[in-house]
Amino acid sequence: MKMFTRAIVRKPAETFANGITTANLGKPDINLALKQHEAYCEALIKCGLELTVLDPNPKFPDSCFVEDTAVVTRDFGVIARPGDPRRLGEEVEIQKVLEPMLTLCYIEEPGKLDGGDIMQADNRFFIGLSNRTNLAGSKQLKNIVSKYNYEAYSIPVCNLLHFKTGVNYLGDNNLLIHKDFCSKDDFKSYNQIVIEDDEEYAANSLRVNDYVLVPKGFPKTKASIENLGYQVIEVDLSEYQKMDGGLSCLSLRF
């Protein structure tokens, strides 16, 4: 049984290099970013997903990171309220795209919530409290998902941009987690695959149906995931890493 059948993605705009970043890895090459985005889309198609590909939006340099604009399941969607004011407005078009597909709920002021802080693990949602997601946003999301019989837990995020920068659920009770994630004890019931500092970017690997997408260039993480029995697809995301973006950020999957 497939976990996901559809995904929404957005191509990066020519203004991509003007986006928000703390990575200090240099300016991204937009032409290479476009090629990498195409390869990312091909990987999602290989995983069995039907894609909705949105045109670039130069008004919002970060708008290719569509995951932050919503939280989606096969049953419902939640339109987020981005925590950085420079990204407010990105969610408006995503709402229009999702309206024909899903029943929608909304995070409202004073709530702040980025989709990159929300991880679904089977019937649970973990909500990262970060600089982009506040307690008000967390409480609103808890109330929404509880109506659909999901459990929800708020988890503090320290020294990371988003919750899923450091923690990602692979299914089958397996969890990737960065070694310095400050709330590891909250995940004692999971089989933790601990990611070391030299491969921290690979903590944001992405399970999609029968495959796990892993960023290219992190052999230890790739081997750890393969040793669990998963099929791996490597995806080169060098230009997105420069802009604090990862595998999960680039799509909304449901």
What lies within 8 Å, CB to CB, of 134 at 6+ separation is 83, 110, 111, 112, 113
Alpha-helical segments (H) within the chain: 30-46, 90-98, 135-146, 163-166, 219-227, 238-241
The tokens describing 51, both together, are: 């894609």
Q: Which of 41, 64, 105, 249 is catalytic?
A: 249
The partner residues of 215 in beta bridges, in order of sequence, read: 235
Q: Which of 41, 105, 162, 178 is catalytic?
A: 162
CB-CB contact of 182 with 159 (8 Å):
yes
Per the annotation, the verdict on 162 as an active-site residue is yes
Per the annotation, the verdict on 37 as an active-site residue is no
CB-CB contact of 152 with 141 (8 Å):
yes
So which residues are the catalytic ones?
A: 162, 249
